[in-house]
């Protein structure tokens, strides 16, 4: 069975994350990485839940086969050990600053024939509301 990898750095699960997991299930066994506290801070986010709580949150999602720790924002630690057939992510990482992460992942997984699957970003009122709440909490502009 093929392995599909995705990573979440969030402590709020919304329809977009669930959409990624539903799509990942079509390709194989779903492994979800949870960014460690240190990696989350390097990614410029401040978790409101402990790492253990975030892992448990992901573990309870239907369709997740395994939850692992991701200690590197660039995915290197996980990609080297897991060597997934697919890395799946919302297509929001195709542009802007996080596109550098996507480019790095794409180059890395080419070594063993892996592919990136970009899922169209989920835009719905629940996601927008959560995004606004997070931005307000962090005093970030929209």
**Domain limits for position 81:** 3-137
pTM score, whole prediction: 0.83
Q: Is the pLDDT of residue 67 over 70?
A: yes
- Pick the residue with more confidence: 119 or 9? 119
The pLDDT of residue 140 is 45
Specify if 131 maps to a domain. yes
Burial per residue of 6-41, b for 16 or more beta-carbon CB atoms within 10 angstroms, e otherwise: bbbbbbebbebbebbbebbbebbbbbbbbbbeebbe
Residue 106 resides in a domain: yes
Report DSSP state, residue 92: G
The percentage of residues in the chain with a pLDDT greater than 90, rounded to a whole number, is 58
Domain assignment present for 125: yes
For β-strands 86-90 and 3-8, DSSP reports them as parallel
- Whether 42 maps to a domain, the answer reads yes
Q: For residue 82, tell me if it sits in a domain.
A: yes
Q: Give the whole-angstrom CA distance, residue 139 versus residue 70.
A: 27
Rounded distance between C-alpha atoms, residue 69 and residue 51, angstroms: 9
Q: What is the mean pLDDT of residues 62-66?
A: 96
The answer as to whether 58 is a domain residue is: yes
Q: Determine, yes or no, domain membership for 128.
A: yes
Residue 142 forms part of a structural domain: no
Q: What is the CATH number of the domain that holds 92?
A: 3.40.50.620
Number of compact structural domains in the chain: 1
């Amino acid at each position: 069975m093929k392995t599909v990898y995705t990573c979440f750095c969030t402590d709020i699960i919304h329809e977009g994350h669930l959409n990624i997991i539903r799509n990942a299930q079509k390709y194989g066994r779903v492994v979800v990485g949870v960014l460690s506290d240190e990696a989350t801070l390097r990614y410029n986010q401040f978790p409101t839940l402990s790492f253990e709580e975030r892992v448990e949150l992901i573990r309870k999602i239907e369709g997740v086969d395994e939850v692992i720790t991701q200690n590197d924002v660039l995915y290197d630690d996980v990609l080297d050990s897991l060597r997934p057939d697919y890395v799946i992510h919302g297509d929001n990482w195709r542009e802007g600053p996080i596109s550098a992460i996507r480019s790095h992942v794409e180059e890395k997984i080419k070594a063993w024939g892996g592919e990136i699957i970009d899922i169209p970003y989920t835009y719905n009122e629940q996601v927008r509301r959560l995004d606004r709440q997070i931005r307000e909490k962090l005093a970030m502009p929209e």
